[in-house]
Amino acid sequence: MKKTNAARTLDSLKIDYKLCEYEVDESDLSAESVARKVKLPLAQVFKTLVARGDKMGVLLACIPGGMELDLKAVAEISGNKRVEMVPLKEVQPLTGYVRGGVSPIGTKKRYPVYLDESAMTFPFISVSAGVRGSQIFIGPGDLAKAVQATRGKISHPPVSL
């Protein structure tokens, strides 16, 4: 398995994780498809969405694969009046990652990360390793540690998005 920026970051922080690779279907990058391929419940597979607040700028939201991001809730917890999704064409320039491969760890720039509180109900969750076809299985507390070490800020405690 090829190490991604996210995996190298976790290695440097000495944080335990497991890489899980799967075959990518470019026509179906959905969280449902990923959950099926990594053999986890959809609620345990978290997607990382890129949004922008009117006051705080770019932020990342990690939510369960079957959920839609509540933009009003994100605005409220992030200190913004309004939050909207970043246009797809901006995702890679902002994060260094492509759609279907955005990881909350190892982005080009430091952005605040908001993790849905449901993550804490699992011994581990799955997040993108930073490329399509590779997931990181990591304890939610360890994910928070990694984000804090590399970003300086994670919504803590995790919030309901």
The whole-number pLDDT of residue 153 equals 54
Of 3.80.10.10, 1.20.1090.10, 3.30.1490.270, 3.90.960.10, which CATH number belongs to 5-151? 3.90.960.10
Q: Is the pLDDT of residue 157 over 60?
A: no
Whether residue 108 contacts residue 95, with contact meaning beta carbons closer than 8 Å, is answered with yes
Q: What's the chain's Rg over C-alpha atoms?
A: 14
Binned at pLDDT 50, 70 and 90, residue 150 comes out as confident
Angle at 127 between CA 122 and CA 133, to 5 degrees: 135
pLDDT higher at 1 or 36:
36
The pLDDT tens digits for 2-55 are 788 899 999 999 999 999 999 998 888 889 999 999 999 999 999 999 999 999
Whether residue 48 contacts residue 62, with contact meaning beta carbons closer than 8 Å, is answered with yes
The whole-number pLDDT of residue 148 equals 80
What's phi and psi for 95, nearest 5 deg?
A: -105, -25
The pLDDT tens digits for 84-113 are 999 999 999 999 999 889 999 988 888 999
User: What b/e sequence results for 7-24 when a residue is b if at least 16 CB atoms lie within 10 Å of its CB, and e otherwise?
Assistant: bebbeeeebebebbeeeb
- Give the span between the Cα atoms of 66 and 52, in whole angstroms: 21
pTM of the model: 0.89
How do beta strands 57-64 and 83-85 pair? unpaired
